[in-house]
Amino acid sequence: MKNTRNARPASYFPDGLNEEAINELIAEVASEVAEVAPPTSALIDGSAAERRRRRIERRALTGVVRSLPVRPSITTHIEDIAS
């Protein structure tokens, strides 16, 4: 037995994207991807990746760790008050 109660016609597209609209979007993206510039020599020989690695290393080495003051715990403070 087929469920025809919730069946929609083949032309029903709740988001408004029918097959024609989807094909147009695919063509638009394909043309944008085709326009991507070729990689530079720095990307090809790896020197850009090496510079990036050195920058990351330098930032990590020069980063300052925030130090927070040490405070006594609340339970220690309450015990001191009680005595």
Measure the CA–CA gap between 34 and 43, rounded to whole angstroms: 19
The predicted model scores a pTM of 0.34
**DSSP notation for the chain:** ----SS---TT--TTS--HHHHHHHHHHHHHHHHTPPPPPHHHHHSHHHHHHHHHHHHHHHH-----------HHHHHHHHH-
pLDDT in tens, 25-80: 999 999 888 877 788 888 888 898 999 999 988 888 777 666 677 776 666 656 66
